Amino acid sequence: MKTSALIPCYNGSRHIKRVIEHLLVQTHPIDEIIVVDDCSTDDTVAIIKTLPVQLVQSERNQGPAVARNTAAQHSTGDILIFIDSDAYATADMNEKIIAAYENHSQDLLVGGVGGRGIEARVETIFDEWRALHGAQNFGSYIKTDVPYLFGLCCSYPRSVFEKVGGFDPFYRINAGEDLEIGLRIRQQGYHLIYDPEICVEHQHQDSHASLLRVQYNWTYWSYISMVRRGLPAWRNTLGPYWRFIRYAFADLLIRRRPDLVKLDCEIFDEKRRAITDAREKIRTMPKP
């Protein structure tokens, strides 16, 4: 199977060179690497031009969903692998993605294969909270029917990706778009495979404000994704309550970290606000 690594990028100068370098030294070579620059204002484009990859420059900023679709349109691979511009792939990522398709396609209708993000930069309490409670993974075991694949490291057969119409341009930020395409693929009868041995090292770092914003956005757009696909949103409504209880219990009684519990409370408030705001948005939103 021919694989294409596709990277949406906006102001990614801090990490894009290393992201590409990790893709260039895969144990099973990737057939093509395509970066779509979404109108960066830093020196991202100049950096990309020094590397042996295909660069596509957007005429205006439209968000990661459109950038991923643009990369797919310029690609030729049978398997489309999407990597975020702050995710360093392990050397065997491509090899293990191909193996997952080969191993599972005999028994399942495979609509995608994804891996996990390892939080590589844990320097503040906000990074620590993300690594403990917001890491992008479904655990330590292979799962053959996860609800979606994490956008920082996911792949889809070209045939499936084109069948469902790619990522929905409605989602302008990194929130909700990976869940939404996963819902559409599964509604077509496909399985999404999660393999924890497929790894990328996530280089993201958070401040207090950015952590609250990310958790708000994830909750807000996940709720909207569920409702737009005609699915009951009760899990998204009850989820923050259950996670708050679980996180606060572990942080207070097991880790003995009242500072983390304080952060748990702040994030819980943001998630409740996100659900309220999403409900208001849904009332005026046209159906997809």
Give the DSSP per-residue string, 99-153.
HHHHHHTTTS-EEEEEEEEEE----SHHHHHHHHHS-S---SS-BS--S---TTE
Q: Is residue 44 part of a domain?
A: yes
The reported pLDDT for the residue numbered 248 is 97
Exposure string of 221-235, with b = 16+ CB inside 10 Å and e = fewer, is: bbbbbbbbbeeebee
| Mean pLDDT for the stretch of residues 254-270 | 97
Please say which residue of 171, 206, 241 terminates a domain.
206
Q: Higher model confidence: residue 235 or residue 39? A: 39
pLDDT above 70 coverage of the chain, percent? 99
Q: What is the pLDDT of residues 4-59, one digit of tens each?
A: 999 999 999 999 999 999 999 999 999 999 999 999 999 999 999 999 999 999 99
Let me know: does 202 contact 119? Beta carbons within 8 Å. Answer: yes
Q: What is the pLDDT of residues 134-144, one digit of tens each?
A: 999 999 999 99
Domain co-membership, 231 together with 113? no
Domain co-membership, 149 together with 250? no
* Residue 287 backbone dihedrals phi, psi, to 5 degrees: -70, 150
Please say which residue of 206, 227, 262 terminates a domain.
206
Domain co-membership, 238 together with 151? no
Q: What is the pLDDT of residues 200-229, one digit of tens each?
A: 999 999 999 999 999 999 999 999 999 988
Q: Is residue 251 part of a domain?
A: yes
Let me know: does 93 contact 200? Beta carbons within 8 Å. Answer: yes
Chain CA centroid to CA 32, Å: 21
The reported pLDDT for the residue numbered 284 is 83
Domain co-membership, 120 together with 219? no
Domain co-membership, 175 together with 254? no
Domain co-membership, 106 together with 226? no
CATH of the domain at 58: 3.90.550.10
Q: Is residue 247 part of a domain?
A: yes
Q: Is residue 288 part of a domain?
A: no
The reported pLDDT for the residue numbered 232 is 81
- pLDDT over 80 at 233, yes or no: no
Please say which residue of 206, 236, 269 terminates a domain.
206
Domain co-membership, 136 together with 150? yes
| Mean pLDDT for the stretch of residues 137-154 | 96
Domain co-membership, 131 together with 26? yes
The reported pLDDT for the residue numbered 287 is 66
3-class secondary structure, 176: coil
How many domains are there within the chain?
A: 2
Q: Is residue 52 part of a domain?
A: yes
β-bridge partners, 112: 192
Domain co-membership, 55 together with 155? yes
Q: Give pTM, 2 decimals.
A: 0.95
Domain co-membership, 74 together with 185? yes
Domain co-membership, 128 together with 102? yes
- pLDDT over 80 at 261, yes or no: yes
* Residue 30, domain extent: 3-206
How many other C-beta atoms are found inside a 10 Å radius of the C-beta of residue 28?
Answer: 15
